[in-house]
Structure 1
Amino acid sequence: MLLGIPVAAAVVGGVALLPWRPPRPALLSGGVWVRGDGVAVVLPPEQTGRQTSLAPEIRRNLNAATLPAGRWEELARTALIDLLSLTGPVLADPGAPDSGTATRFPSGGVVAGPVSIWRYVWPRDASFAAAAYAAVGLEAQALDVLAQLATLQRGDGGFEARYTATGVVPDDRPAQSDGAGWFLWAAGRLLADGADAGELGKRLGVALARACVFLLALTDTPSHLPAASPDYWEVEERTVTLGTAAPTLLGLEAAVALAAAGLNVGADAELLEVRVTTVRAAMERGFAPGWGRHVRGNDVDAAIALVAPPFTRALDGVAAVRDGAVARMSRPAGGVAPGESWRDDGISWTPETALLAWSAAGLGRDEEARTLLDWLEAHRTDAGALPEKVRADGLPAGPAPLAWTCALVLLTAVELHRDRHQ
């Protein structure tokens, strides 16, 4: 429809007006390749085939990683290569890769994507990258990522929405309160995957305590839910979303585990356990039974994955909503939108699709997990990179690779292999 006019056409003054259609996003990069000198070069969208030679450091990490064998081995391998390429990179200017002009990110800094407005560090994306590194046995890389995030943390324990290579905020978008939760959650994932508690305390102790105190303050309210804040949708919010509330709960739960392992997280373990119980109950009061994006809503959102395994014990009523979530969020090309209420532009988003794939694997919904991973694998760029988006016609779009998607694909593949050896 165009302002109430049927989509066939409108005629004004004898001139036929075609209906408005959302613009088709373009593929901005085919992938990224780290040269032997350590400089990461952005591959053009028309690039075909992956680069077979790997920079020495990437090859060492790849050889040290424990990747799932079998069906998903190649997908996991390329996702890990791309994630390593986006971690602490020296990114050449995509317009002049041989000019010597480059942006140097610090060790452990995870860049969301190699081009344009994605050349920033998001605390959420970096936290998932740390979890993925830990899942494949690259503990040192995981710790480096979280240690770098710790240098960006505000004094109150929270984080800004994103950071430049020099650690400053690039614009006036508001802070996102989910960052502290994701930071603690990732540290908890490292601990669960075998990281030494003493090393975690040595590298991250002060930052973990600040993040924990931040979450306690965030939930020390009559509702015991955090205030409204932008989340991974990157839009202004007036009502708290599941994408903000869930990481708060996950961070508090991780703080309990870290405290039980002997780390000083800035709060008594008993207090933390009580607060976790209180916040879980508050979320069930506020979001059940619809478990939509917003409190008292029923518009299912990819964040439904965050309130059930593998993230946490499923909250009351979540299972029934999660059963139909993929179908309700599906898009013409076969992936999903960020949520049911996302604009109807036909575009699939790979991080949300991968998030639901990991969710499915954690819930034992193996067929759904395999179907979503199959789709992600089939919709990579010609150079084999995972893009941010897939258009309705099935063509990849946006930056490629995307760090968050790479991390989630790795976590999903490991989850499937870990318990079912597929």
Structure 2
Amino acid sequence: VGDKLWTLANGTVEKTTVKQVSSRKAWEIVEVVTERGIMRVTPDHPLATSNGWVEAQDAAGCLVEWTNPNSLHRARRPPKLGYAFGYALGAMFSDGTVGDRCLSLVVNEREFAVRFATAMVEAFGMEVRIEEISRPSGFLGREVPGFRVRVVSSYLADLFRTYAGGDAHHMRQHFPRVVLNDEESLRGFVDGYAEGDGFRPKGASGVVIVGANTAFLREFAEVVDARFSGGPQLYVADRWNKRGWYGKHGFRQEEHRTTLAEASYSRVLEVRSKTARKKPYTVYSFQCEPYPTFLIGGHLTHNCEHHLLPMIGKAHVGYIPEGKVVGLSKLARVVEGYSRRPQLQERLTAQVADALHESLGARGAIVVVEADHLCMTVRGVQKPGSVTVTSAVRGIYAKDQRTRQEAMSLITGHR
């Protein structure tokens, strides 16, 4: 209790706190094998899939929401929108390199490096260093001095790739529409990109953007309402944001996510049933806040019950004693005790059978529960009369078919 667990909330990695822990015995669990790992849970444990919450025992073939557990502890840098944010993106999209775990900008002018470093600090809160370097020049045939700004952050590397449409290579990147969240961000992007891969003609009231990625330039032109002929240059007037100027549409604000969506999906390849041999498994349930969900090996799960609606029915209980018998009222109390809580019928059935078999030391126990679920009759599909039947057998009832059949015939004969 009090420990922090990782979870996913709207695709973002968050922490949640364990407020309560409960445990119980279970003879059966399932081993869920996905493309990303293996987890052992109870058969009714809910998994977050692309089609909603699905019990683990029914999850074969489903896509389970997943995030890389190796990246959970990395620092996350949510950006601050504004001119600095746009400028940092513009500089990177024009002259920068996005690696697996870092961003790098190598330029000739120190002033450009300083402006980029300052923008990264303001927009992302990153402390960056400017390094003096030398690099070969194919045009001059010799080493030339330069300046490098390197930012080590796998989170920002993934974020910038997302902004670029998934591929940050200059020939495949797309226009980062995230800068359309506000006008100052787009203004900063135009200035940052022009400083890296553009120029201002003498006496002109605009800048020329240069690039070989014509698809990117075409998207850029649509955003600033500029004419684009399909060549390697795009002229962006200083008044691109003035609505009505020469019939221009001006700045058109759009809403886009600024933080990294770290969730993806992992397909369930197989679900294997595991039955305890000599002693039952001990399984745990966590009640967490502020998020009720948590990750198992990066897979999103939770322990919450499906519905907070009653189920009304009856429980058939039988046992074969091993020297000890119990009063009939105690059997009813056992069922009542496990029923008076948020519960699943499958779990209730198993818990009553386990209590008789273990606590009483019975040679065998059998429990059959028949119930109407109000979630089926008063909401959803609204099917009155739909009865759910669950059963659990322990000890000799599980091993001896004749004994089990005799008990089942007594139960079905009194329906």
TM range (shorter): under 0.3
Instruction: State the TM-score, normalized to the length of structure 2.
Output: 0.22
Structure with the bigger percentage of helix: 1
Instruction: State the TM-score, normalized to the length of structure 1.
Output: 0.21
Q: Of the two, which has the highest radius of gyration?
A: 2
